[in-house]
């Protein structure tokens, strides 16, 4: 049982991982054929991943309904929406004017817009906490943010012709340098985690055991 749960998945991850490393660094036709073969299998397995996700969602919310967990009524709405949306797509299709497209255009899209609009308030709250001039570094951050924000509106040019130029310099030089430093750090971190996974050191994806 331990071999099935741990060793076989670990061997599969290490083998496929090193094959992908070979595909990236070895420009050969065999590597290209292997990658195309893997993509075809990925497309074949993606429906099973969708089925697994639906089963997990159904099991989670059905358990909440049975146990009358806090806000379990929302679980009923979630499962009912899942069933009706799936049924409408299979029965009426996904063409314009069908119930599925009506749900997408009048329910899904407004909900997405609402969530994105709420992000503005979280950003404003985080900006207020970050831009308070409690230190020299926070003061520099506050001044840079004010200049960049003023330069985005016509009043910035009306105040001074230098404000758009300063804003462009802030975005092009220090901001770009910080962004590239962050991306380099993310790349190094991802590379280190990938090496740990390929060598079998990192095994958290196998479960708690």
Tens of pLDDT, residues 126-181: 777 766 667 787 788 878 888 888 888 787 777 777 888 888 899 899 999 999 99
Does residue 38 belong to any structural domain of this protein?
Answer: yes
DSSP state of 97: T
Does residue 60 belong to any structural domain of this protein?
Answer: yes
The percent helix, strand, coil of the chain (3-state, each to 5) is: 85, 0, 15
Phi, psi of 164, deg, nearest 5: -60, -35
DSSP state of 204: G
Does residue 31 belong to any structural domain of this protein?
Answer: yes
Contact 147, 166 (CB under 8 A): yes
Does residue 36 belong to any structural domain of this protein?
Answer: yes
The C-alpha torsion from 157 through 158 and 162 to 163, rounded to 10°, is -60
pLDDT digits (tens, 9 = 90+) for 56-82: 999 999 999 999 888 899 999 999 999
Does residue 53 belong to any structural domain of this protein?
Answer: yes
Q: Show Cβ contacts of residue 197 under 8 Å, excluding neighbours closer than 6 positions.
A: 13, 17, 205
Domain that residue 60 falls in: 1-70
Local confidence band at 3 (pLDDT 50, 70, 90 cut-offs): low
Does residue 40 belong to any structural domain of this protein?
Answer: yes
Q: How many domains does the chain have?
A: 1
- Alpha carbons 38 and 23: distance in angstroms, whole number: 11
Which residue is associated with the tokens 């709420």? Answer: 118
Does residue 57 belong to any structural domain of this protein?
Answer: yes
Reported pTM: 0.56
Contact 24, 38 (CB under 8 A): no
Does residue 14 belong to any structural domain of this protein?
Answer: yes
């Amino acid at each position: 049982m331990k071999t099935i749960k741990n060793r076989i998945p670990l061997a599969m991850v290490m083998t496929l991982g090193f094959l992908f490393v070979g595909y990236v660094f070895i420009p050969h036709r065999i590597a290209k054929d292997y990658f195309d073969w893997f993509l075809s299998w990925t497309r074949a397995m993606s429906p099973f991943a969708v089925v697994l996700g639906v089963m997990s969602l159904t099991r989670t919310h059905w358990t909440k309904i049975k146990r009358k967990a806090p806000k379990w009524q929302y679980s009923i709405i979630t499962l009912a929406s899942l069933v009706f949306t799936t049924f409408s797509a299979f029965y009426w299709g996904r063409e314009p004017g069908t119930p599925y497209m009506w749900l997408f255009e009048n329910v899904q899209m407004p909900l997405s817009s609402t969530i994105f609009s709420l992000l503005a308030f979280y950003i404003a709250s985080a900006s207020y906490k970050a831009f308070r001039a409690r230190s020299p570094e926070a003061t520099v951050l506050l001044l840079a943010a004010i200049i960049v924000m003023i330069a985005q509106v016509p009043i910035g040019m009306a105040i001074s012709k230098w404000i758009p130029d300063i804003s462009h310099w802030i975005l092009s030089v220090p901001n770009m340098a910080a962004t590239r430093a962050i991306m380099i750090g993310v790349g190094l971190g991802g590379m280190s985690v990938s090496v740990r996974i390929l060598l079998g050191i990192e095994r958290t994806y196998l479960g708690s055991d």
